[in-house]
Structure 1
C-alpha cells in the first residue's frame, strides 16, 4: 500500500530484520545495499533520433550470395522526404524488426537502435493480413531528425552492480551481486554528485522499510545511526511489535529492542489494532483476490475469528472454507 501511494518513480525497498544475516555477505553490506536500492537517480540525456514513415526499402544482395549487402531507405514526414544509404548492420536491424513500407519507425543515431511505432494511417485501408496488436499511428510531422530528451530512473545499487565487475549487468538479473568494494561506491557517489552539479541527474531519496527491526543486533543499529547522517539517506521506516525487550548482542533492555541513541532520533507512530469494520474490508478484498464468493454470515464468522485470533489465520481459512463448501454442494 505504501509503495503504491509513493508512485512508480520513488524507490521503495522492504526488508525483514532477519534477512540481513547471511554467511555470504556481511550485515553492513546487506544494509548498505538496501539503503542504495532506496536511492534513485533520474538521469536526463538528449538523443538525436530520425523519425518517419518508411516509403521504400531497397536492398541489393550480391549475386554470389557472399559479400556485404547495401541498400537504400526512403523515409518521409508530412513535410519532407529523404533517402538514406544503409550498411550491413542497419539492414540486419531492419530485417530483425520486420520493417516494411508503411511502418512508422524511429532510429537512434547514437546506438543505431530501431523502434517500430506502428503502421501509418494512410495504409489502414490496404488489403493486408494484420494481427490484433497492430497499432496505427499518424505520419510524423516536421523535420526527420529530432532531438529528444530521455529520462532514465535507476537506483544507486543498480549502478554499483553494473560497475563492480565486467558484465555486472548480468548480476542484476541473477541477484548474485556479492560484496561491492567501497572504492567503487565512492567513485559512483563522486560521479553522481558531478552530474547533479551539471544538471544531468537528480537524486530521488526513496523509502527503506525494515520489518521486525528488533531482530537487528547492536552492530547493525550503530551502522544505521551513521548511515542516516549521509546527505543522500532515504526515509527509514521501522516496524516492530515488541515492548521493552533486550537489544540483540547486549544484555541491556530498552523500548522496542532499539538502542536509546537511535530511538531518540525516531518519530514513534503507534498503530491501533484493526477494528470490526477494517477486518471485514480486508477479508472482502482477500476474497476477491482469491476468487471466492462468501455470504454475509461467513463474513461475520471470519471477522470474529480474525478479531479473536489473528487476521493472518482468518485469511488462511478463506481457501480451506471455500473448498469444504464446494465439496458439500
Structure 2
C-alpha cells in the first residue's frame, strides 16, 4: 500500500489562474493572486535574478502556504536546491540556533563543480605483469603493461601503484571492454567484445564490434553538491586538521567561500541560489529572526521564505501588532494567502482522490468541503483515508455519502472532542485503580 503525504497532489503552479483542467492537474486550487506571486518567485529563481530577500507567507491554517511553497519547488525543478524545515526543528536540536540557521542556508545553495577527466577506454587485447609481482606487491611497485584497442587503433599503457592493484582486483580477461580513469585511480569492466568472447558466459553487456573513437578521451563531468557539503568535506582539510570532527566554524565557512569564489572566477564552478523554506516561523525568537536578516545580506545567501498562520501587520503607520519585530518586517516582503471556500476545498479533495485513484460522488465532495471549512482540511483528508479503508471492507468501488458519514460518526473532530472533555465524566464513568 502506498502512503500519500499531505501535499502529494501538488505538481506545480498552473499557468492559467482560473479553475481549469490545467489547474486540476497541477493540484494547486484557488489562490489566484498567490499563484501569480509564486510564479514570479519561481521565475526569478530560474533566471538567477533574485536578490537577498526574505518573503513571508501569511494566511490562516489550511490556506495553502506550504502547498504554495512546494509548488514553487516543483516549478524550479530538481536542479535548484529547495530545503524545507520548520521552526520547531530549529529548537529541538542541541546545536545553537544560529549554527542551525547557517547550516540550513548553506544547504539551500548548490555548487556545480566542472571536472575534466582523462579516460582510457577500449578492449583489452593483451596484458603483461612483471615477474615476481607478488614480492613487489608488498612494496607497492607493481607495473602492468596493457594494450587497449578501439575501432580507430590501439594504445599501450603502463599501470603503476593503485591502478595496477585495482586492475588485479577487477581481474579483467582478454576481450573485456575496460575503462581506466587515472584521476580517480579506478578500473572498471564495461562489458565483453563478442568477437573475442570465450565460451564462458558474461553477465555484463555484450558488444558485437570494437567501440568507436580513440582509446584516449576527455570527459566533462558536473558534480552537484551543496555549500554545506563542502563545509563538511573540508572540516579536516584546512589548517592542518585543526577543527574537530563535524565542527563547522565561521572561519571554516569563510575559507570555503574563498575557495568557491576562486573556482567561480576560474570558471571551474557555478553557484546556484536556492530556496530555504521555514514553516511555523512565528516560533522563532527575535534573535533568530534578526540573524536571518544578517544572513540574507550575505553574498552567499538563498531566498528565504517564512510561513506563519499568525497575524502579520505590514502597515507600519498603525504600529506593529504581529509577533515579528518591526525592524525585521521592514526588510521583508509579504505574500498574503487568501482563504479557500467550501468549493475550493471540495476541489482539493477531488484532486487527492484522483491522485490515489479513488472515485468519489458529488454529495461526498460537498460534505468534505463542509468539514474542511468548519473544522480543517486535514480532518477531511483523514476522513477520506479512513473511508477508503471502509470501502475495502464493504466491497464498494467508490466513495459515497454514507461511507464518509460513518467515518465522521466514529471519529470526532477537535470541536467535538472539547465538548466531550467537559461532559466526559457524565457520559463515561471513571474508575480509579490507584
After TM superposition, is the score higher than 0.5? yes
2:54 paired with 1:13: no
DSSP 3-state at the match of 2:101: helix
Superposed counterparts of 1:1-329, under 5 Å = 1-22=71-92, 24-56=94-126, 68=137, 71-86=144-159, 89-90=162-163, 92-94=165-167, 96-97=169-170, 99-118=172-191, 122=194, 129=201, 134=205, 139-165=210-236, 179-244=247-312, 254-275=320-341, 278-287=344-353, 291=356, 293-297=358-362, 298-329=364-395
Q: Greater share of strand residues, 1 or 2?
A: 1
Structure 1 residues 265-288: Cα deviation after superposition (integer angstroms, max 9, x where no partner) = 222111123455654454345446
DSSP 3-state at the match of 2:233: helix
Structure 1 residues 47-80: Cα deviation after superposition (integer angstroms, max 9, x where no partner) = 21112233455668969x8764765433212101
Alpha-carbon distance, 1:188 to partner: 1.0
Structure 1 residues 26-65: Cα deviation after superposition (integer angstroms, max 9, x where no partner) = 11111111111111222112221112233455668969x8
Give me the whole-angstrom Cα distance separating, in 1, the residues matched to 2:106 and 2:208. 40
Higher Rg of the two aligned structures? 2
What is the alpha-carbon root mean square deviation over aligned residues? 3.5
Instruction: Calculate the TM-score normalised by the size of structure 1.
Output: 0.78
Runs (5+) with no aligned partner, structure 2? 1-70, 238-244, 314-318, 396-434
DSSP 3-state at the match of 2:115: strand
Contact (CA 8 Å) 2:111, 2:270: kept in 1 or not? Answer: yes
Give me the whole-angstrom Cα distance separating, in 1, the residues matched to 2:257 and 2:88. 28
Give me the whole-angstrom Cα distance separating, in 2, the residues matched to 1:269 and 1:158. 32
Change (3 A) 1:328 1:60: farther
Give me the whole-angstrom Cα distance separating, in 1, the residues matched to 2:324 and 2:302. 19
Change (3 A) 1:124 1:82: closer
Give me the whole-angstrom Cα distance separating, in 1, the residues matched to 2:310 and 2:216. 62
Contact (CA 8 Å) 2:175, 2:197: kept in 1 or not? Answer: no
Give me the whole-angstrom Cα distance separating, in 1, the residues matched to 2:288 and 2:303. 17
Runs (5+) with no aligned partner, structure 1? 167-176, 246-252
DSSP 3-state at the match of 1:21: helix
Change (3 A) 1:279 1:55: farther
- Specify which structure has the bigger relative contact order, considering alpha-carbon pairs within 8 angstroms and separated by 6 or more residues: 2
Structure 1 residues 81-136: Cα deviation after superposition (integer angstroms, max 9, x where no partner) = 1233445744553465564455443211122213444555x5699977566x8476
Give me the whole-angstrom Cα distance separating, in 2, the residues matched to 1:94 and 1:39. 38
Give me the whole-angstrom Cα distance separating, in 2, the residues matched to 1:219 and 1:328. 55
Contact (CA 8 Å) 1:52, 1:144: kept in 2 or not? Answer: yes
Contact (CA 8 Å) 2:86, 2:280: kept in 1 or not? Answer: yes
Change (3 A) 1:271 1:134: farther
Give me the whole-angstrom Cα distance separating, in 1, the residues matched to 2:170 and 2:341. 56
Instruction: Calculate the TM-score normalised by the size of structure 2.
Output: 0.61
DSSP 3-state at the match of 1:187: helix
Give me the whole-angstrom Cα distance separating, in 2, the residues matched to 1:4 and 1:244. 27
Give me the whole-angstrom Cα distance separating, in 2, the residues matched to 1:155 and 1:139. 40
Alpha-carbon distance, 1:242 to partner: 0.8
Give me the whole-angstrom Cα distance separating, in 1, the residues matched to 2:94 and 2:310. 29
Alpha-carbon distance, 1:153 to partner: 1.8
Give me the whole-angstrom Cα distance separating, in 1, the residues matched to 2:206 and 2:348. 40
